[in-house]
Structure 1
Amino acid sequence: MTFPPSLLQSASCQMVNQQLGRILIVDDTPTNLFVLSKLLTSAGYEVIQSSNGLEALMLAQSHQPALILLDIMMPDMDGHEVCRRLRTVSATAHIPVIFLSALDAPLNKIQAFRSGAADYVTKPFQTEEVIARVQLQIELRLARKRQEQINVELEKRVNERTQLLELAHSQMLDLAQSDRLTRLPNRPSFLRRLDNVISHSQDDPQTSFAVLFLDCDRFKRINDSLGHRIGDQLLKGIARRLTNLEQKHVEVDMVARFGGDEFGILLVGIADQTAVTAFAETVYGILSRPFLLAGHNIFSTASIGMVWGDSSYASAEHLLRDADVAMYQAKAHMHLKYCWFEPGMHHLAVKLLNLETGMRLALQREEFEVHYQPIIDIRRMKVVGFEALVRWRHPVEGLIPPNDFIPFAEETGFIVELGAQVLKMACMHISDWEKAGVLDSEITISVNIAAEQLLQPSILSHIQHCIDSAGISAHRLRLELTERALIGDHELVDEILQALKQQNIRLSIDDFGTGYSALSYLHQLPVDCLKVDRLFVKSITDDPDSLGIVPLIISMAKTMNMEVVAEGIENSTQLNQLQKLGCQYGQGYLFHKAVGADEVAALLSTPIYSWLEPASD
């Protein structure tokens, strides 16, 4: 049954007035209390603290928190007993409890859930995980209360025949004017409303308005890797966050879904373009937070195009077209979160069409080539491998860097064929170097495998064919996968990775630490190496506080008998700090940039110290 919008809005307004952001933290360790309190307070929650079970029971009854974070191992009364007592009292039985414990065995978790826990977080905890799980439980409770209120209101309405007819009529209008999946207004509704605003602005020049056109980044990848059901849930989650934003900002006149992963926001009465930019920053921020869907932490940002309404627009379609063009401009430049429309942007659509045509021809003509960046044992200062990096040798524009075409290839699906060509070329280069006798037994070649490639039915046979055709040993090959490639169908991904390991192919997780999506089952994966993302290495200075999570990643890898490669080492300070942390391997401009395949032999014949220029930290 579809509920009328007025009923949902009534329930939502009543929920907002209730206290749903208070959290009780129970832990006998002062440090944990301090860290969790600071984390949750910064996230906007009201925090109550307790260091023992009896006090926690009293605080729960008197303050009625929305959620309880409960330590298990405490003196006098452990967390299990506290949770059982909470469940026996009607005033506290409904409060969700998340256990925090260093005990991570399956039996410990089973006991926790039997005690009445809603969730379980293992210490040492990740701050992002704690926030995500807390947010989920808060949202679940809000949803339950909203549903209860809706049910109360419905009981009144079902008794009156007239109101039932009104509900049916409302449903018919809703189907015609709204998107079925998200319940937001659809594109025709948005255009009708925008036409009205444009018409009003022509009568009253003081009317200010703007349009934001949103497109979700990497939505196709999420759909392909996790399935359309998760994709639909993500779209619903985005719609919920935008709807919440609409309720908090009076300037938001309408939020709509246009179809696929595209959304629109109409702002009316907004002060100026600076205010629109600030609002776009807010939108980007709320959509950048992870979505917890079916046990996966999904990260999905958005590209935003913006148009300021003025008298030059006589049609809503024209204004929306320009917002769409600005959005593609933002998407084409990965560093842009959002972009204002400018009259000169109309050529962008032509540029994207030319890029698509150019990539099709480049794949047919095999215009792509592979360059190789050395990977160094930073303790022995010895080359132990190379990473294969693709470049586009364009017949007119020359050598095109990967940032100018890889994102487009991923969005359009070209990455599958491109990745296949890169793997084939890398295997042939390995064969050439082996025949020339320039590779010692220790050197491996790392090739990136995109998520779309990994899920191809023919991936295993293709890899084996490349190895056999080149006549090389499989141990020379190391495949690098991002965390995003591992968050799909765990059973299928694990089956593929196990098969690769049986072929004696080594596996690495690239850009590790940027998503945290693979942490929950990392120990189950047959992975040999973690690569620390260059973003974490870039921030390293002489200050110990600059190390961030790098020590944690290195320690984690050592615990699981994995190698660690630090990417993006650019100066001696970063190198020295990584050496002190016990990092084994590194790559970056401090050592050498990527070189063509024909330069690898010469590179291996010269000492590493001869490559290095005087460092300028």
Structure 2
Amino acid sequence: MNQPSQELSYKILIVDDVPDNLRFLSTTLSQHGYQVRCAINSAIALMGARNDLPHLILLDINMPDLNGYQVCQQLKADPITSSIPVIFLSAQDDIQGKIKAFTSGGVDFIGKPFQVEEVLVRVKNQLELQAANAKIQTFNQELEQRVKERTFQLESANHILQQEIVQRHRLEQKLRHDALHDSLTGLPNRNLFMEQLAKCLQNTVDCPERQFAVLFIDLDRFKIINDSLGHLAGDKLLISCAQKLQECVSKKNAIARLGGDEFTILLKDIDDVNDAVVVADKILQEFAIPFNLGNRNLMITVSIGIAIGNREYHQEIDLLRDADTALYRAKELGKARYEIFNQQMYLDAMSRLELENELRQAIFHQELVLYYQPIYSLSNLKLIGFEALVRWQHPERGIVSPDNFIPLAEETGLIVALGQWVMDQACQQLKIWQDKLPPATSLTMSINVAGEQLHDRNFLQIVDRIIDRTQVDSQYLKFEITESMLIEDTEQLIEVMHQIKNRQIQLSLDDFGTGYSSLSYLPQFPIDVLKIDRSFVNAMNVERQNLEIIKTIITLAQVLNMKIIAEGIETDVQATTLNSLNVEFGQGFLFSQPLTAEQAETIVIELTHKS
């Protein structure tokens, strides 16, 4: 094949049947000076490689006609293309797949989704290795000629050859190091970590009483920091976190960055689980100290999942999975803590996965249903609106409480589709009721909006489409957000909230008083309504402190010209007390449980008669 030249840019052929992948790789490599050609199937790839020999081929494994392994074998069988190096592309990260890739003739492997740094480093390394091989080959040819012509130059030529061999050896060592280490932090990557983990598992076979531990570590709320401060600050934080983790364990143990904000620690020899707990406690203590990033002190916590390795494990991936499951439980229980894996966690994870799949189907098959809880004026008990509450009508489990599926929807990203469905149905129902009411009668609809929805770049367009389709009067809509959202990417959130207000939609702050936001932040947000959390309402006649908190919230709302709604009112005493404190509106079982649309319409019709 044609040899790479320093005077000409390298030619790279990309083979993938997914246009988005071709665009991403083509754009990335072109921006770094490479000449790129693309092939969307195996036939074009084989023809293109033969007609215009590239220096390197990036080849997707999973394609509809010939798979990547078959294409590579044909390339290697053709004398014209046999020497072109092939890097395989695949979303599969299993060992058998990689072994098959290398036995088919591949020289390297890039996983999906693509990481720009990884793609560039692996491409650059292969081209450098190819250039080095070409240089050695050229020199060997020249050396043979020199030996024939001038035997007296043999000693000098041999010395130069040795230097080239040393350089090649160093290059090979560098390539192996780069293939097994994270380019950002310098820590071992997933591949090297799995090799080390496999050795520990083998040790338990040779010595059954031996134990080791895997700590799976994830930075809490790293995405918020990365999005708000930028990727450069995020990278600096990751480097600092890697350094801090290295300080927490001895050199005989292993630390790796698996990707993103995920790290792992391998404690290669422990007496019992307490050894792992000691390390986890030390990490939590170290991360309680703020990071200094230039002129900014940044606080970030970690969650840790611990799995104990012993002779009961046979595959390293199973041990990593169990540590990840324990990490999920630590996140679920509040973050900034560790959890030790047990079998019940695995069963819970399987149940959660099953529930996630069922929830996807429920959204698709419209098994969800909205209930509507009335909201009343506390002064005259007049109906002023409803809060839309989603329920899951499961074909086998019956009605599933939102407490059991909303957190799962938020975690998996399904909350965006779920929230869109709720908004569409609630607006449609409000429009039906608005059409039945006299023009002067106002009836509001409160709709809960998750933080993931507000951060979705299409959120405002979705709102506009729903309002346009349902023809609902937007001034009677209220979007409810939780207090915890106020600390997430504040500037972006304020901009989105103002855009919502521009559409005449009101904003309610739900569960006020239970979150972590500072009261000094509240005036920054264009909030119309504060909702007093039910926990304060339920305890206000029992603990004076809760009553004082409610009074403080009322005073704050009055200063900021906000309306107040009390949630969870269950007794006449609570309603009377809240009314005496000038709380305008309330909802709760005292007035009504959440109602079906048909039941709620009965109340709306009564309101029509009263009007």
Q: Under TM normalisation by the shorter chain, which class is it? A: 0.5 to 0.7
- AA of the residue aligned to 1:311: R
Q: Distance in 1 between matches of 2:297 and 2:547?
A: 24
SS in 1 for 2:403: helix
Q: Which stretches in structure 2 are left out of the alignment for 5+ residues? A: 1-170
Alpha carbons of structure 1 residues 505 and 292: separation in structure 2 relative to 1, 3 Å: farther
Per-residue displacement from partner, 1:159-206 (whole Å, max 9, x unpaired)? xxxxxxxxx999999866654445554334444444454455556666
Task: State the 1:602 CA deviation.
Answer: 4.0
SS in 1 for 2:387: strand
Q: Distance in 2 between matches of 1:426 and 1:473?
A: 12
Partner of 1:595: 595
Task: State the 1:340 CA deviation.
Answer: 4.2
Larger CA deviation: 420-429 vs 359-368 = 359-368
Task: State the 1:251 CA deviation.
Answer: 12
Task: State the 1:281 CA deviation.
Answer: 7.3
Query: Do the aligned residues in 1 keep the contact of 2:224 with 2:488 (CA within 8 Å)?
Result: no
Partner of 1:478: 478
RMSD: 4.8
SS in 1 for 2:313: coil
Q: Distance in 2 between matches of 1:371 and 1:289?
A: 46
Partner of 1:213: 216
Q: Distance in 2 between matches of 1:222 and 1:442?
A: 42
1:187 aligns with 2:190: yes
Task: State the 1:528 CA deviation.
Answer: 0.5
Task: State the 1:509 CA deviation.
Answer: 2.3
Task: State the 1:475 CA deviation.
Answer: 1.9
Q: Percent identity?
A: 40
Alpha carbons of structure 1 residues 479 and 182: separation in structure 2 relative to 1, 3 Å: farther
1:453 aligns with 2:453: yes
Task: State the 1:256 CA deviation.
Answer: 3.4
Query: Do the aligned residues in 2 keep the contact of 1:486 with 1:518 (CA within 8 Å)?
Result: no
SS in 2 for 1:396: coil
Task: State the 1:457 CA deviation.
Answer: 4.2
SS in 2 for 1:422: helix
Partner of 1:403: 403
Alpha carbons of structure 1 residues 423 and 317: separation in structure 2 relative to 1, 3 Å: closer
What does 1:322-401 align with in structure 2 at a 5 Å threshold?
Answer: 322-328=322-328, 339-343=339-343, 351=351, 354-378=354-378, 380-401=380-401
Q: Distance in 2 between matches of 1:494 and 1:217?
A: 23
1:544 aligns with 2:544: yes
- AA of the residue aligned to 1:362: A
Q: Distance in 2 between matches of 1:512 and 1:295?
A: 33
Task: State the 1:370 CA deviation.
Answer: 1.4
What does 1:554-565 align with in structure 2 at a 5 Å threshold?
Answer: 554-565=554-565
SS in 2 for 1:264: strand
Alpha carbons of structure 1 residues 266 and 446: separation in structure 2 relative to 1, 3 Å: same
SS in 2 for 1:406: helix
Per-residue displacement from partner, 1:5-51 (whole Å, max 9, x unpaired)? xxxxxxxxxxxxxxxxxxxxxxxxxxxxxxxxxxxxxxxxxxxxxxx
Alpha carbons of structure 1 residues 314 and 469: separation in structure 2 relative to 1, 3 Å: closer
Per-residue displacement from partner, 1:128-185 (whole Å, max 9, x unpaired)? xxxxxxxxxxxxxxxxxxxxxxxxxxxxxxxxxxxxxxxx999999866654445554
Q: Distance in 2 between matches of 1:292 and 1:566?
A: 42
Task: State the 1:592 CA deviation.
Answer: 4.0
Query: Do the aligned residues in 1 keep the contact of 2:391 with 2:401 (CA within 8 Å)?
Result: yes
Alpha carbons of structure 1 residues 506 and 187: separation in structure 2 relative to 1, 3 Å: same
SS in 2 for 1:595: coil
Alpha carbons of structure 1 residues 454 and 304: separation in structure 2 relative to 1, 3 Å: same
Query: Do the aligned residues in 2 keep the contact of 1:370 with 1:596 (CA within 8 Å)?
Result: yes
Aligned residue-pair number: 437
Query: Do the aligned residues in 1 keep the contact of 2:478 with 2:506 (CA within 8 Å)?
Result: yes
Partner of 1:524: 524
Larger CA deviation: 517-526 vs 172-181 = 172-181
Q: Distance in 2 between matches of 1:595 and 1:305?
A: 42
Q: Distance in 1 between matches of 2:426 and 2:256?
A: 47
Task: State the 1:413 CA deviation.
Answer: 2.5
Q: Distance in 1 between matches of 2:355 and 2:349?
A: 10
1:464 aligns with 2:472: no
Task: State the 1:488 CA deviation.
Answer: 5.7
Query: Do the aligned residues in 1 keep the contact of 2:214 with 2:320 (CA within 8 Å)?
Result: yes
Q: Distance in 2 between matches of 1:216 and 1:230?
A: 14
Larger CA deviation: 413-422 vs 213-222 = 213-222
Alpha carbons of structure 1 residues 375 and 276: separation in structure 2 relative to 1, 3 Å: farther
TM-score, reference length from structure 1: 0.57
Partner of 2:425: 425
- AA of the residue aligned to 2:527: V
Q: Distance in 2 between matches of 1:333 and 1:359?
A: 22
Q: Distance in 2 between matches of 1:294 and 1:383?
A: 55
Partner of 1:506: 506
1:312 aligns with 2:315: no
Q: Distance in 1 between matches of 2:390 and 2:424?
A: 12
Q: Highest CA radius of gyration, 1 or 2?
A: 2
Task: State the 1:506 CA deviation.
Answer: 0.8
SS in 2 for 1:359: helix
Partner of 2:263: 263
Partner of 1:62: none
Q: Distance in 1 between matches of 2:441 and 2:290?
A: 43
Partner of 1:103: none
SS in 1 for 2:417: helix
SS in 1 for 2:452: helix
Query: Do the aligned residues in 2 keep the contact of 1:534 with 1:566 (CA within 8 Å)?
Result: yes
Task: State the 1:508 CA deviation.
Answer: 1.5
Q: Which stretches in structure 1 are left out of the alignment for 5+ residues? A: 1-167, 608-617
- AA of the residue aligned to 1:209: F
Task: State the 1:446 CA deviation.
Answer: 0.9
Per-residue displacement from partner, 1:394-420 (whole Å, max 9, x unpaired)? 333332222332223223322222211
What does 1:581-592 align with in structure 2 at a 5 Å threshold?
Answer: 583-589=583-589, 591-592=591-592
SS in 1 for 2:312: coil
Query: Do the aligned residues in 2 keep the contact of 1:542 with 1:577 (CA within 8 Å)?
Result: no
- AA of the residue aligned to 2:416: V
- AA of the residue aligned to 1:260: G
Q: Distance in 1 between matches of 2:385 and 2:379?
A: 15
Q: Distance in 2 between matches of 1:530 and 1:278?
A: 44
Q: Distance in 2 between matches of 1:579 and 1:328?
A: 43
Task: State the 1:553 CA deviation.
Answer: 3.7
- AA of the residue aligned to 1:212: L
Partner of 2:3: none
Alpha carbons of structure 1 residues 602 and 330: separation in structure 2 relative to 1, 3 Å: farther
Query: Do the aligned residues in 2 keep the contact of 1:566 with 1:586 (CA within 8 Å)?
Result: yes
Alpha carbons of structure 1 residues 457 and 311: separation in structure 2 relative to 1, 3 Å: closer
Alpha carbons of structure 1 residues 542 and 534: separation in structure 2 relative to 1, 3 Å: closer
TM-score, reference length from structure 2: 0.57
- AA of the residue aligned to 1:555: T
What does 1:151-230 align with in structure 2 at a 5 Å threshold?
Answer: 178-182=181-185, 184-200=187-203, 207-215=210-218, 228=231
Q: Distance in 1 between matches of 2:292 and 2:604?
A: 46
Query: Do the aligned residues in 1 keep the contact of 2:220 with 2:336 (CA within 8 Å)?
Result: no
Partner of 1:20: none
- AA of the residue aligned to 1:402: P
Alpha carbons of structure 1 residues 278 and 595: separation in structure 2 relative to 1, 3 Å: farther
Q: Distance in 2 between matches of 1:464 and 1:195?
A: 54
